[in-house]
Amino acid sequence: MECIQRFTHRLLPLPPTVAQNCFNSVKRSPFRAYPAARFGLTRKPIFSPTSCYPRPGLTPDLTTRRSYGHSSRARAGWFLGIGKKEEELQEIVKAGDPVLHEPARDVAPEEIGSDRIRQIVDDMVKVMRKAPGVGLAAPQIGIPLKIIILEDTNEYIGYAPKEETKAQDRRPFDLLVILNPKLKKKGNKTALFFEGCLSVDGFRAVVERHLEVEVTGLDRDGQPIKVKASGWQARILQHECDHLEGTIYVDKMTSRTFRTVENLDLPLASGCPKLGVC
Ligand SMILES: [Zn+2]
């Protein structure tokens, strides 16, 4: 799940030259190919225009989008068992790719603790922190396994207004790695807040989530774990577990609340429910 930030165009106007460069780069850029092979299957290439990020002067470290270079090829190579260079990171799969709507499979008992799974987890942590985000599911880097990671830090939380993080009940927590998570919603209380996703870059929508959940699963060593979570951590867990079912937040968002990050502070459309605990 994406960090919620409010470095909007209104707060930090985009210089015309940057805006023009951005527009030009989208207009002129050659298209870059997604991997033709994924999950060992041959697929028709999917093309997407090159992003105009990063935008100098607009994006502090927290919101900088980095280019992952040849990661698509690395990802395809990884699945084919070809070694990848250490500095290459998997690319985050973006919305529009049907792979995000495919359910993931359990990590098999014989795979748990293996070098392959450890490598996947290590890669996920690097990708999530580099994005940066507060959660990531393995399908988001093209790996159809039930693995989620999440982490929230004082630094990330410090970028959001205090009244907002208080309303969201957002508190820092250490990195959590959960294999084969099973989520149970607890109680009847829910909350409506905007959330984002690293696979839906630059957009937010209101999603109703349970305030409390309990997640059981295995840690990266295969030891059983149980996480009782509330508030924002519970939201992140629900968001990431949804990814493992092939669901992204736009599949369950409150209608008419989908908007760009730049418009996050504008009032909701008439008739939309109020943000907060229901
Ligand atoms: Zn997501």
pLDDT tens, position by position, 233-272:
999 999 999 999 999 999 999 999 999 999 999 999 999 9
Question: Ligand 1 mean position to 140 CA, how many Å?
Answer: 8
| Residue 239 CA, ligand 1 centroid: distance in Å | 6
> 16 C-alpha vs ligand 1 centroid, how far in Å?
31
Residue 87 lies in a domain: yes
Residue 52 lies in a domain: yes
Residue 30 in domain: no
What is the DSSP pairing of strand 173-195 with strand 276-277? antiparallel
Give the HSE-up count for residue 264: Cα atoms under 13 Å, Cβ half-sphere.
Answer: 21
Residue with tokens 């293996």: 114
Average pLDDT, the chain: 78
pTM of the model: 0.74
pLDDT at 85: 53
Considering the domain boundaries, does residue 83 fall inside one? Answer: yes
For residue 24, being part of any structural domain is answered with no
Which amino acid is located at 129 in the chain? R
Residue 12 lies in a domain: no
Instruction: Tell me how many domains the chain contains.
Output: 1
* C-beta of residue 218 within 8 angstroms of C-beta of residue 178: yes
User: Among positive and negative, which fits the CA dihedral 83, 85, 87, 90?
Assistant: negative
Residue-wise pLDDT for 36-55, tens only, equals 334 333 333 222 222 222 22
In the reported structure, the alpha carbon of residue 240 is separated from the centroid of ligand 1 by a whole-number distance in angstroms of: 6
82 found inside a domain: yes
41 lies in a domain?
no
155 is catalytic: no
Residue 226 maps to which CATH number?
3.90.45.10
The pLDDT value given to residue 102 = 97
Catalytic residue (choose from 155, 240, 245, 262): 240
Q: Which domain holds residue 145?
A: 46-277
